[in-house]
Amino acid sequence: MVNTALRHSRSRALSRSAADQPINGPTDQPINGSTDQRPNGYHRNVRRRFDAILFDFDYTLADSSSAVVECANGALRAMGLPDASEHAICRTIGLALPETLVRLAGEEHSHRAAEFRLHWRRRSDQIMVAWTRIFPYVPATLEGLKRCNLQLGIVSTKYRERIAAVLGREGLAHYFDAIVGGEDVEAFKPDPGGLLAAIERLAIPLDRALYVGDSVIDAETARRAGVAFLAVLSGKTEREEFAEYPAEAVLSSVADLPGLVRC
């Protein structure tokens, strides 16, 4: 879900077998007030208390991949273009639709972005909410974080109304203090505008916020905003792809997050 040139420029790699451990140290150390170790041997002390945790949505809290595959290939077929593979489509989750079209059909079709968007949204209106599933560990995770008196938010390229509908269906809407979706921003991630708007809505300093996401697009968004970032491997991004970003930790999923936060 990131520019291929960025991904292939990585010169460092971390062991995939340690996927459930943070970059900065063992999983049983709290994020706030812990000593961490970078892959290159650099050490630092994290001496801060987070007041809010903000999440990406797709592949961080939920899986909408089946709906995304259906919408993407339905739009491509309507445009007379061949289907894309499920893997290729899932790697675009989180991108703006014009970029998705380029990734799936080639730069030569970029001028047809409006047509692609029209067909996509027509099908998305029918299935996106119904086919989106919250990861099973998310309710307990949110409950654990709220017990720590943390404010919670979501910043995603998915439309806010769709996120709200899924959360409402699952009885999770009350956990979130701010939701910023694709219709709320002028530019999509990695532009930091959405993340900054959510933090402003929560009325906290930037250094008291943590952004959690599954892609290097999320990591770059946090970096541009000047906000701490924590990566999860519940999407299609490999652990080593986060190596050049200053992540607080890389975890298997958000299920491990409450154990790292010091209440």
pLDDT, one tens digit per residue, over 104-157 is: 999 999 999 999 999 999 999 999 999 999 999 999 999 999 999 999 999 999
Of 58 and 36, more confident: 58
Read off φ and ψ for residue 85, nearest 5 degrees.
Answer: -70, 155
**pLDDT over 70, % of the chain:** 81
Residue 36 has pLDDT above 50, yes or no: no
Q: How many CB atoms lie within 10 A of CB 130?
A: 11
Residue 13 has pLDDT above 50, yes or no: no
Q: What is the largest CA-CA distance in the chain?
A: 56
Rounded CA gap, 174 and 139, in Å? 11
Residue 6 has pLDDT above 50, yes or no: no
Of 134 and 14, more confident: 134
Q: Which pair of structure tokens corresponds to residue 178?
A: 């701010």
Quick one: 56 exposed, middle or buried, by C-beta within 10 A (0-12, 13-18, 19+)?
buried
Rounded CA gap, 242 and 103, in Å? 21
Residues with Cβ within 8 Å of 111's Cβ and at least 6 positions away in sequence, in order, are none
Of 213 and 259, more confident: 213
Rounded CA gap, 61 and 254, in Å? 8
Say if residues 175 and 199 touch (Cβ distance below 8 Å): no
3-state secondary structure of 213: strand
Polymer length of the chain: 263
Looking at residue 260, its pLDDT comes to 86
Please list the residue range(s) of the chain that carry CATH number 3.40.50.1000: 20-62+133-260
> Any bridge partners for residue 213, and if so which?
231
pLDDT tens-digit series, residues 49-98: 899 999 999 999 999 999 999 999 999 999 999 999 999 999 999 889 99
Please list the residue range(s) of the chain that carry CATH number 1.10.150.240: 65-131
20-62+133-260 falls under which CATH superfamily? HAD superfamily/HAD-like (3.40.50.1000)
3-state secondary structure of 222: helix
Q: 249 vs 22, 51, 86, 144, 259, CA distance in Å?
A: 4, 17, 29, 18, 12
- The answer regarding whether domain 65-131 maps to CATH 1.10.150.240 reads yes
Question: In terms of pTM, does the model score above 0.75?
Answer: yes
Rounded CA gap, 246 and 103, in Å? 27
